[in-house]
Amino acid sequence: MVKEFIDKIKTKEIKIGILGLGYVGLPLMIRYIEENFKVIGFDVDEQKVKSLLNKKSYIEHIPDDSIENAIERGFIPTTDFSLIKEADALIICVPTPLNKYREPDLSYVLSTMKNIQPYFRKGHLVSLESTTYPGTTEEELRPIIEREGFIIGEDFFLVYSPEREDPGNQVYNTKTTPKVCGGSTKKCLEAGLALYEKIIDKVVPVSSTQAAEMTKLLENIHRAVNIGLVNEMKIISDKMGIDIYEVINAAATKPFGFKAYYPGPGIGGHCIPIDPFYLTWKSREYGVHTRFIELAGEINSSMPEWVVNKLTMALNEAGKPVKKSQILVLGISYKKNIDDMRESPSVFLMEILRDKGAVVSYSDPHVLVFPKMREHQFDLKSENLTPEKIKQYDCVLLATDHDDFDYDMIQTNAKIIIDTRGKYSAKLPNVIKS
């Protein structure tokens, strides 16, 4: 049956079903449409589906004309999971957050499997792209499929291929970013490689779904640990009166053995704040205590409190308490030049300041209205920045360094700037590095 599946890909008779139309699923849909594949997109969010049917994008870096083009070329967005039976490949791109105990929450993956399970048929391929711990595909997804009487690798194919989306990246996109793929069996891997090779420049096969799952975790834990290291170096340098950004830039001139990582007010995005905890949780099953990874997580998680402490001391020096002070947060997406709010450290900063009694506002050209979030609520809109507006605030907290900000104007008019991104010289009288 694997030959028939691959032949359908070659002739583009295959129909792709993408489950979850967010930052991962939507770019993937566009790539398949660009290569003239038929795509059905599934999401439980009726507003997303309605927006797509109206040819409108809800992700800033995906323009409306990309959605319009996709619809005109046959893309079908829907909340009707009965259409699963029409698709041949089912690609799962749903969130995998942590619960309140910082343990893996697979509820979105498992509810998706529950929604599509009644429509499984012979010849289907399921690919999980959501970040998760090693063993998820085999321990959670495979039994669900096998309970329906299918034989994995014979009449049903199962793969894990982790997403590598980087919103706002101007160099690498879905097509040009190499993609890792592992299959439950050799035939599953064959089918998975064939599925992705039509839209990705380079697909990297690995020996198992577990190896593919671990690859994703290593990629992001590597970043989390190095960010934790440089954040700790920032704290030490601050105590010593040394500019950490000067140090990093000098170290980066070494042509070997060093890669520059930069500190910040915390870490954000769906992957780096979450992935390490997936591995530490799973490692306990094997009696392993991941001390190194957990320490980096603790350092990174503590950064918002450290920044607020610096802000508090700066206000004290100016004779003002945090309570009732007017604080403007610059940038609330998790990184520059995008609208992605997932796990943004800016939101944690805003909550800490609000809890301390500060009057918090924000300005972000990419997030004009504070969005509805599962765990964070602010009834705020982005402030338009003018010299007069800047002068009204007791302190400006630079949290996300969007290119659109007029940094000279802000510095000229702000009473105090807490700079968490190294945009300003520490020699400026109203700038405090944090």
Q: Is there a contact between 339 and 366 (Cβ–Cβ < 8 Å)?
A: yes
| Burial of 51: CB neighbours in 10 Å, binned 0-12, 13-18, 19+ | middle
**Strands 179-183 vs 157-160: parallel, antiparallel or unpaired:** antiparallel
Compute the distance between CA of residue 399 and CA of residue 97 in angstroms, rounded to an integer: 23
Active site residues: 271
Cα dist from 275 to 103, 219, 222, whole Å? 10, 9, 10
Name residue 419's beta-bridge partners.
Answer: 398, 433
DSSP 83: G
Cα angle 58-327-265, degrees, rounded to a multiple of 5: 65
CA angle, corner 44, sides to 147 and 68, nearest 5? 120
DSSP, res 202: -
CA pseudo-torsion sign 52, 55, 56, 57: positive
Q: How far is C-alpha 292 from the geometric centre of its chain's CA atoms?
A: 23
* In 207-333, alpha helices (H): 209-240, 244-251, 275-284, 291-317
**Chain CA centroid to CA 262, Å:** 18
Tokens representing residue 292 in the block: 């190194």
One-letter amino acid at 327 equals I
Structure tokens at 117: 């399970």
Residue linked to tokens 């199962």: 158
| Of 204, 155, 157, 215, the residue nearest 181 (C-alpha) | 204
CA 395 to chain CA mean position, Å: 29
How far apart (Å, rounded) are the C-alpha atoms in residues 356 and 235?
23
Strands (DSSP E) found in 316-394: 326-330, 359-363
C-beta separation of 58 from 23 below 8 A: no
**How many residues are there in the chain?**
434
